Structure 1
Amino acid sequence: MRLTRFLTILALGSVFALAFAGCTKSNNKDSASPSSSSAPPASEQSSASPSADEAAAKLEKLGLDSNFKFKETRKITVEIYDRGNTGGSKPEDNVYTKYIKDGMLRDHNVEVTFVPVPRWTEGEVLNNLLAAGQAPDISVTYSYPTIQTYANMGGITDLAPFVDEYKDLLPNLWGYLTDSNINWDRDPSTGKLWALEARLNVLNRINTFVREDWLKKLDLQAPTSLQEFESMLKAFKDNASTLLGKDADKIIPFSTSFDVGWRTDHLTTSFVPDNITDKDIYVNGFDDRKLLYPNYKEGIRTLNKWYNEGLVWKDFPLYPAGDKTEDNLIKTGFVGAFIHNWDYPYRDGEDGITANLHKLVGPDANYIAVEPFPNDAGVYRKFLSAPVDRKLFFPSTNKEPLASMFYLDWISKLENRVYLQFGEEGKTHEKMPDGSFKTIAATDEYIMNSPANIDYTITSNGIDTGNPDLTAKSLANGYAGVDARLIEIANKITTNGGRVGQNAKAGEIKSEEGQGEALSKKRDAFLDQAVVASVDKFDAAYDAGMKDYLNSGGQAIIDERKAAWEKLYGSETMLK
């Protein structure tokens, strides 16, 4: 049956290719007159279509049967993030990995082994694995410069020949990611394709959260401006005894982390002029924390002012990625406001922030998303990601590219994605009368180590049922023990006024090679130093840090990106 479908696809593909070639010629200014047909004779068209024997021969050459299953077992390794979740399962060995392993063996005769990589140090660990020639056959990262660095050293496989040659064997991958995500990173001059971009189903990114019960207790309205937000923080501090009683000295009006760029995004980007051009966004956008956007410094200056007024958690720079100290302070009820991932306080069921607040403080202790930071045009602008996510690549040590491609195809199939996102009915979800999914907090082997198992659905980030209405309903149902009202508010605010990222298609920027992790560390360090500096020393701390950042490679990237843009678009400043 699959062989028949394969033949049909190949035949149709040939017909469409010929038709497209004909259309291209007829639209050419130098084409022949209408009387001279650009299409080949019928006999040539017939011979161009693959025969059953030719298709069977292709499968035979690839070692496949008619169901795209290898005749001899192949083995691949796949990277999986280890988030170190308390109460979670081993990320490389659990119910969900068994589902994938069993499915790949059944459908393609491919044996899968998962290789755990610590989530919070994944860049460093992956660098070490690549340098040692030990990276998993299918590797995952958020850092494209890491991939580009090793590609230039011959350490990454060019995926272009495989996605093109095997397209007819990968209907789920092509159907789900589409040409846009598959070819997002294809170099326009060389045609090289070092990575595929996973699909970001939901552009939800960041939200600003405030303790709703504290607002009510102090008879405050949700803040809608920077001044109102600052006044609210001061009210929290001034009324600590009312809010926390004997624990008044532990109050933290506003919390952030060492990663100031991510964790104060709504504040800092509200200082960016609304008329920023696509050119500026591309030239300065290699730092995903928006560090180089115009006027960003003033957002950090505001945070510095708050810190010196005792409104910001004084110990925020001390704890590295993955540390749970801040989360525990939030769960205990000491934190009034923070900025984080769009649904952060609603995650993790019984182990999450909301559940712990309800247990330790009371059922009304909730965080609610607010919009307090309009920009110079009065818009609550959100700089949203392009619809791309993690980058999927094969190191050059991958000896099974087709088996690896089948893995990406299998993980992109709707029924497999839905199972991995929602788990087992009766264990992790229940089916609602309208067909949507409602999450049940799992307490056993069905616990998911990441939201909606995104660490396993590596071609997909965000819930997707295949039906937009059911997806929206399932999203609202997806947080056990959390009032759906809070999810709906957060979901609406996080993309309100959004500006979605675009693909400038400028190709490789050589000066970015090897710089991603190093520049990110410099950025985090100097922003932390600038925030905790005394007010009179803020400019010196910030400017010195920025100078070092630019001299360490940042300026070279800016210059090369500017030249690449102008080569492609001339004096244009906006993408069409």
Structure 2
Amino acid sequence: MKKKVLSMFLASVMALSIVACGSSNGGSDTQTGTDTAAQQDNATETEAQAEPETASELVDGKFAETRKITVEIYDRGNDGGSDPENNMYTEYIKKGMLEEHNVEVTFKKVPRWTEVDDINNLLAAGEAPDICVTYSYPTVLTYAQMGGVIDLADYVDAYKADLPNLWNWLGEQNIYWDKDPKTGSIWAIEGRRAEQQRIVTFVRQDWLDKLNMKAPTTTQEFEDMLIAFRDNADTLLGKDASKMVPFSTSYDVGWRTANIITSFMDPKITDKEYYINGFDDRMVTQASTKEAVKLLNKWYNEDLIWKDFALYGSGDTTEDDMIKAGYVGAFQHNWDYVFRNGEDSINANLKRNVGEDAKFVPVDCFQNSEGKYAKWLYSSAGDRKIFFPTTNTEPLASLLYVDFISKPETIKYLQAGDEGVTHEVLDSGAIQIIAATGDAIQNSGKNIDYTITCNGTNFGDEKLAALSLAYGYAEADPELVSQADVISRTDGIEPVNVNVGEITAEAGVGDTLSSKRDQIYDNAVVAAEADFDSTWDSYMSDYLSAGGQAIMDERAEKWAEYFGDADMLP
């Protein structure tokens, strides 16, 4: 009955928010009046239905009676991949949880590329998995405000002795990352990034060789290289010259050209400025971003950027297919992107489709005003957000799952699999990943869709991970992997965690603003050069009026409340 009541409540609030925001993706704005009263009533019900169990509930870490939980798993739709709900890794988890904790686990797949929409719908219907994972904290916050998310503050502390792996791996930094400084609420636990690398620029080494050119080391040299690719399409592609794409990007310009955008930023940007303008990690409202995009607009109008980049959304394979076919000269992407997916990796495909010498190599060429190759890194904390909907009636069993996932042995198995099947051990002791088949295929790099508290190479041992990083990609050249790793961290900047509690303006607008952000970038890049300023300003005005300005204003107020006149945090 309570599940039904909560489902009706969430669905009602979603309906109201859709009317208010004009978008089915919007969620709800801050609630007032009667909505607040309903929220308080629902919160009272939530508190009554889920209170921490006593430690005596467990005997040697196990429940006396079998508990059952459901866990979200991303479905990436990989051709030839394994079933995300049933494979070698899910069986390992299910067996381990049953043996160690007497908890039966069922996985529930959610499409990766529409995960926010799908989780929204599942939450509103009261059908969300007991353990949910998202990259979008505003989504968590929206439902927390509706009374639809369990406050984990009491649970993680009360069960600390039963969660040694979770606390050892994440520590207070990640567990308390989102803890409200006033209320003490914890709506989500943040996963930990074992790797902080983000974006690298890749260029075709074989094309450089054919044109007798060196790898670019400056922005101007990079532009000159793109022009050379364009002007020598016949030499480089022969009968396919019309398919030449000197530089490729996607609709997600803010991510895919991040190193270019960062190179335009003030090297002395303050923590305050970066935070106030930093709701969107694509840096669309940072002061210098417009100038960076103006350069991309120039390149686009000079036929240096893929003309159709804005037409294909998330999850579409058109760009990857074009890159693998050998038509693209350069692009920016996740630091290890060309090495992922073994025999189906970009470089492996180029070798088959174009020739033995065809490959992308990492380069560093976008310098800021101080001559540094500055790049924003991931924080070592603050990754995916793990949260429990209030329809979860097994919070302790769910936390034991998160603890099991955080065990060194579990992380190692999920990342490395079985020796001889998914990896080999080298003489140095390093783990070398090899191509897998069938249900041993990992649908995500390093199996991060299962290691939800760990993003990046770890193998349960940081020294072993460092030793093995270059060998973590089947069919990839370890030397190139090492080069990409080094370049991705050169002159890296790690953002600080600014915790000022809830920013109410952020709730319910995440999807809407992400969509409008992409519209700013995409339309500004493809505009005629004479129309660039007016296009940028028009779309930015729409973004700000849709909630962006309110977020920045509230962030500025909260900064002043907690940090006064300070520009930098210790």
Query: Given the two structures, how large is their TM-score scaled by the length of structure 1?
Result: 0.89
Q: Which residue is 2:154 aligned to?
A: 161
Which of the residues 556, 559, 573 maps onto 2:550? Answer: 556
The one-letter code sitting in structure 2 at the alignment partner of 1:497 is D
Equivalence for 1:326: 319
Is 2:217 the partner of 1:217?
Answer: no
Aligned partner of 1:447 among 421, 434, 441:
441
Structure 1 residues 59, 571: CA separation in 2 closer, same or farther (over 3 Å shift)?
A: closer
Query: For 1:231-278, what per-residue CA distance to the aligned partner results, in whole angstroms no more than 9, with x for missing partners?
Result: 000000111111111111111000011111111111112111111000
**Is 1:200 matched up with 2:186?**
no
* C-alpha distance in 2 between matches for 1:385 and 1:204: 6
CA deviation vs aligned residue, 1:19-59 (integer Å, no higher than 9, x gap): xxxxxxxxxxxxxxxxxxxxxxxxxxxxxxxxxxxxxx954
Give the partner amino acid of 2:174.
N
Asked if 1:104 corresponds to 2:97, the answer is yes
Distance 1:241 1:280 in 2: 47
Superposed CA deviations along residues 181-230 of structure 1, whole A, max 9, x for unmatched, are: 00000000000000000000100111110001111111111111111100
2:365 alignment counterpart: 372
Give 1:157-556 correspondences, 5 Å limit.
157-387=150-380, 388-556=382-550
Distance across 2 between alignment mates of 1:445 and 1:468: 27
Query: 1:36 maps to which residue?
Result: none
Amino acid corresponding to residue 411 of structure 1 in structure 2:
I
CA distance in 2, matches of 1:556, 1:411: 38
1:459 & 1:521 partners in 2: Cα distance? 28
Distance in 2 (CA, whole Å) between partners of 1:134 and 1:379 is: 49
Contact 1:265 1:289 in 2 (8 A): yes
- Report if the CA contact (8 A) 2:407-2:460 is conserved: no
The one of 123, 142, 150 aligned to 1:149 = 142
Contact 1:59 1:68 in 2 (8 A): no
Q: Is the 8 A contact 2:413 2:459 kept in 1?
A: no
Q: Are residues 1:90 and 2:83 paired?
A: yes
CA distance in 2 between partners of 1:275 and 1:256 (Å): 28
CA contact (8 A) 2:424 2:432 kept: yes
Shift of 1:469: 3.3
CA deviations on 1:148-203 (whole Å, 9 max, x unpaired) are 11101000000001001000110000000001000000000000000000000100
Q: Deviations over 1:478-533 (max 9, x none)?
A: 12222111101100011111110111121110000111111000010121111111
User: What aligned pairs does 1:12-51 form with structure 2 within 5 A after superposition?
Assistant: none
Q: Secondary structure at the match of 2:489?
A: coil
Identify the residue that residue 36 of structure 2 maps to in structure 1.
Answer: none
Q: Secondary structure at the match of 1:494?
A: helix
Q: CA RMSD in A?
A: 1.0
Task: Give the SS at the match of 2:420.
Answer: coil
2: distance between equivalents of 1:369 and 1:314?
23
Question: Which letter maps to 1:575?
Answer: L
* 1:120, distance to aligned residue in structure 2 (A): 0.6
CA distance in 1, matches of 2:461, 2:147: 42
The higher-RCO structure (CA 8 Å, 6+ apart) is 2
Q: 1:351 Cα deviation (Å)?
A: 1.1
Q: Any idea what the Cα deviations from partners look like across 1:322-358, whole Å, max 9, x if unmatched?
A: 0001000000000000010101011111111111100
Structure 2 distance, partners of 1:68, 1:469, is: 29
| Max Rg structure | 1
Does the residue aligned with 1:541 lie in a helix, a strand or coil? helix
Match of 1:132 among 100, 125, 140: 125
Same amino acid, percent of matched pairs: 58
Partner of 2:106: 113
Point out the more displaced range, 319-328 or 382-391.
Answer: 382-391
Contact 1:207–1:490, Cα closer than 8 Å, also in 2: yes
Q: Hey, what does 2:23 align to over in structure 1?
A: none
Moved over 3 A (4+): 57-60, 466-469
* 2:520 maps to amino acid: F
Greater shift after overlay, 252-261 or 431-440? 431-440
How far apart are residue 133 of structure 1 and its match? 1.4
The residue identity in structure 2 corresponding to 1:487 is V
1-side partners of 2:413 and 2:174: how far apart? 23
Could you tell me how far apart the structure 1 residues matched to 2:529 and 2:165 are?
Answer: 55
* SS, match of residue 500 in structure 2: coil
Please state whether the residue corresponding to 2:213 is helix, strand or coil. Answer: coil
Structure 2 distance, partners of 1:247, 1:260, is 26
The amino acid across from 2:406 in the alignment is: S
Q: Can you list the C-alpha shifts for 1:122-159, whole angstroms capped at 9, x where unaligned?
A: 11111111111111100000010110111010000000
Normalising by structure 2, report the TM-score. Answer: 0.90
Contact 2:83-2:439 at 8 Å conserved across structures: no
SS at match of 2:368: coil
User: Residue type of the partner of 1:125?
Assistant: D
Per the TM alignment, residue 445 of structure 1 is displaced from its structure 2 partner at its CA by: 2.0
1:439 CA drift (Å): 0.8
CA distance in structure 2 between the partners assigned to 1:135 and 1:301 by the alignment? 43
Aligned-partner Cα distance in 2 for 1:481–1:92? 26
CA–CA distance in structure 2, aligned partners of residues 93 and 194 of structure 1 = 29
Matched residue type, 1:413? K
Shift of 1:293: 1.3
Where does structure 1 lack aligned partners over 5 or more consecutive residues?
Answer: 1-56
Structure 2 residue identity aligned to 1:325: T
Alignment partners' CA distance in 1, 2:399 and 2:478: 38
Kept after mapping to 2: 8 A contact 1:223/1:229: yes
Query: 3-state SS of the aligned residue for 2:438?
Result: coil
Counterparts of 2:341 and 2:235, CA distance in 1: 29
